[in-house]
Every structure is written in C-alpha cells, then in structure tokens.
Structure 1
Amino acid sequence: MPLLLLSLETSSPVCSVALHRLADGSLIGQSELRLDKSHSTHLTVLIEQLLANTGHALADLGAVAVSDGPGSYTGLRIGGAAAKGLCFALDIPLVAVSTLRALAAQVAAVTARPETHLYCPMLDARRTEVYAALYTHEGQEVLAPTPLLLDADTLAEQLAHRSVLFFGHGAAKFQAVLGAHSNAGFLAGIEPSAIAVGQLGVAAFHQQEFQDVAYYEPFYLKEVYTTTPKAK
C-alpha cells in the first residue's frame, strides 16, 4: 500500500498541511502558518519542508486530501489547484473533505461527553451571514452546509432540544446576536486544521471516495462575487 496521505487546509487565514499514514491513520507531522494571505507563497514551501523534516519524499504519497469548503474563495482555489497538480503529476487519488465536517470532528475529538452535544462550525461569510452546518459527535449530518443569516431565531428549533457547541471564526457574530442561551456554548480560538482533514481523508481513501482530478472544483457554497473595475 502507498505510504502517506498529504492533507491541505487553506479555507481560512491559516495555511496548514499534515501527513498521515494511510495504513492506520496515524499522524506523522503537521505544519502551519497563521499569516493572512500567505497561501499562494507558502503552501508549496510548507509541503516541501514537512516532507523533508519527516524524512519523506513526494514519491511516498499515496493520495492528497484537500479541504473542500466552504471558506475563502481564494484560499480554496489555491488549495484545490495545489492538490490537483500533485495528484496529476504523481498519478494518485484526490480526496475532498468538507471544511465544516472536519472542523466539527476536530472539536468533538477533544470534547468531554461528546455525545451530549451537537456541533455547529460557523465560518464568517461577511455582514450578518455565516457558512454553517450541524453534526453529531460521530460526524452525522443534521443540517447540511448552508449560508445562514443570523438573528435571534437562527437555529431556534435545534437549540430548544439539544446542547449545541458553536465555533469557528463566524461564531462570535452569532454569540453577539443570540446572547445568553442555556443550550448554546461558544468556543473561541478554533481554526480549521489539516490534521482533521487528514483524519477524515484517510477514511475516505479506504472507502475509495475519490474526486475526478481533471474536473474537481471546491465547494464554494455561494457563487464567487466579482466586480468589474471602473473605466478610467
């Protein structure tokens, strides 16, 4: 069996890469930079350094997993392009992992009595909107990834019946709108990580959930918004 899975997380300001063994899913190494807009100049450097520091080479890769979105349009494009380039050059499979599902798994793995909560990752989508989803501690989807307009009634039905943990860089906006709620918990400082992408990527690899390298596009969730420069 091929040795390693390389995972890339570029959906947020954090540029993160990780290596896992495909045989057992164990983590070999991880590296990240928390520098805004660093992805285009630092992603390939992080990959090269991580492989060198762990004593491996590109030839040892058996697959690449990429954070699929939603998230930063630019970041997702950079991560997707790098993943596709590696997979094409090395003739290895490409695995896409939901950014929100990976973030939820990341939190559930370190939560006491994880089965007592639902997990709601929220990524800032500007203004009063976030990209969000709901998952159980086992990763089952309760609410599919969707753009949410935030107000005091957002997710009221779910909060009426279950404890829900909110996290990600969009959660603070919802906390300001919702205020105190007995079933809402807010976790600060949670950022997407290539480690979680890799853990889910290993499982997807063994289930042969591969993307078409030629036609893969990240899951932006909303159409990319662009403007036309004004004529001088």
Structure 2
Amino acid sequence: MATILNIETATKNCSVSIVKNGMTVAIQELNDGNYSHAEKLHPFIQQVVEEAKVSVNEIDAVAVSKGPGSYTGLRIGVSAAKGLCFAFDKPLISIETLHSLAHQVTVEEGVIVPMLDARRMEVYATVYNSNYEQVRGIKAEIIDKDSFKEYLSKGKVYFLGDGAEKCKEVIIHENAVFVDGKYPSAKEMAQLSFEKYKKNDIEDVAYFEPFYLKDFVVTPEKKR
C-alpha cells in the first residue's frame, strides 16, 4: 500500500492530505482569504499524520503542488516538502497546480479552463478537454473580451479557480460557464500523486524548483 503526503500551497488555500492507494484518508485545509501557510502548514501536516495513524517516516512519498501560483505560497510548500524528503529519505512528486484544479469539475463535453489570479486582469490559465488531457499550454495572459473565443465558438467552456471570478464581466458568451468556489486542494492531488508514484515519476529533490511561470517582482515602497 502506497501512503503519500500531499501538500498544496499555491493559492490562499493551505491544504494537506494523507492518501493511501489514491484515496484520501485525512485532510486539513484552510482558505480564510489570507496567506496563512507559514503558520498553518506544519501543524496541518502533524494533524493529518496523526489522523491517518501513520508517522512521517512511514509514508512512501511526499507530493507537492508545483505551480504556477503565489510565489511565497509555492516557496513555503516546496521548502517543506523538500525538507521532509531530505530528513526521511523519501521521493518527491510534483503535481501541476492547474491540472489538479481541473479535476474539481467533471464534464461530458466542452473544455475546462482552470485559472489562477495573477493580479489585475492577468491570470495563469490552461485548457483541458473532458478527459483532462491538456490541449493548450499554460500561459500568463491578460483577459479581454476575445479570450478563449476559439473554444467558446465550438462548445461549452468551464472556467474555474480564483482567476475566473474577475473574468465574468469580460468574457460574455452563451457557452461560458463559471464554476464558483473552486480552488486547488490536496484532495484532488490524491489520484494524481498515486499515479505518478506507481510510474516512479519523481523529482530530483536537490534541484527541484517551483514552476513560477513569471519572475518574482518586488514593488518598491513609495517614498513619503
């Protein structure tokens, strides 16, 4: 039986789960509108291993959401995951954040567009078909009235994630469906991390870095 610790910190949702053979047996998460990962992540890890009645040393792998997403959130999650892998000699598995997010909806036709807020009218987004196969690469893009028109002209397009909310008044089309209240979670990482574990699809712990997509930019403080 494969036991995997999943860590998701790419957005404001701090989420941790223990998975056994692809099934979630314990989960802790908090999305209170703030980036509370630095305070919550390690207590959540302790809580899920206790709830699942395992020790960190007994898990078979650590999986982490690789991005794109919040620069600080990703750094915290990846640092914690790598630290556990080094300390307990466990393999590291990475899961694309948008791929995990896409699995929060099930559709029979059309495409799924998971998107994360990247400030102003910019989002990190990609496109999957109903079988969760990626049909367009991940982009950091400015949303306007013509965004995703090539998909909207062919059928239903399901937008979800915290980037979708600000697109409602811009992307106006009869085929546009906005799915509210969805954000990346360690729950959806369960089957994805298990499948990677079975294939031995792991990362080099020493050299693995989050997928930021864009360079981190520090905004200088205004002089008074």
Give the TM-score of the pair, scaled to structure 2: 0.95
SS of equivalent residue, structure 2 residue 67? coil
Aligned to 1:8: 7
Which deviates more, 137-146 or 211-220?
A: 137-146
Matched, 1:165 2:167: no
Large movers: runs of 4+ above 6 Å: none
2:25 aligns with 28
Write the deviation string for residues 133-176 of structure 1: whole angstroms up to 9, x where unpaired: 10122221111111111111011111111211001111021111
Q: More deviation in 64-73 or 27-36?
A: 27-36
Instruction: Return the offset for 1:229.
Output: 5.5
1:194 aligns with 2:192: no
* Aligned counterparts, 1:1-232, within 5 A: 3-21=2-20, 24-35=21-32, 36-108=34-106, 114-179=107-172, 181-228=173-220
Cα distance between partner residues in 1 of 2:184 and 2:149: 26
Question: After alignment, is 220-229 or 127-136 more displaced?
Answer: 220-229
Shift of 1:129: 0.6
Counterpart CA distance in 2 for 1:228 and 1:186 is 35
Residue 228 (structure 1) shift: 4.9
Give the letter aligned to residue 197 of structure 1.
M
Task: Please state which structure has a larger fraction of its residues in helix.
Answer: 1
How many residues matched?
A: 223
C-alpha separation in 2, matches of 1:210 and 1:56: 22
Q: Is the 8 A contact 1:118 1:163 kept in 2?
A: yes
Distance 1:230 1:215 in 2: 36
TM-score, with length taken from structure 1: 0.92
Counterpart CA distance in 2 for 1:164 and 1:131 is: 16
Contact 1:121 1:168 in 2 (8 A): yes
* Cα-Cα RMSD: 1.5
Q: Judge conservation of contact 2:22–2:193 (CA < 8 Å) in 1.
A: no
SS at match of 1:176: coil
- Verify the 8 A CA contact 2:23 2:190 in the aligned structure 1: no
For structure 1, list consecutive stretches of 5 or more residues without a partner in the other structure: 109-113
* 2:40 partner letter: H
Quote the Cα distance in structure 2 between the aligned partners of 1:229 and 1:165: 39
Structure 2 residues without counterparts, runs of 5 or longer: none
Percent identity, aligned pairs only, is: 43
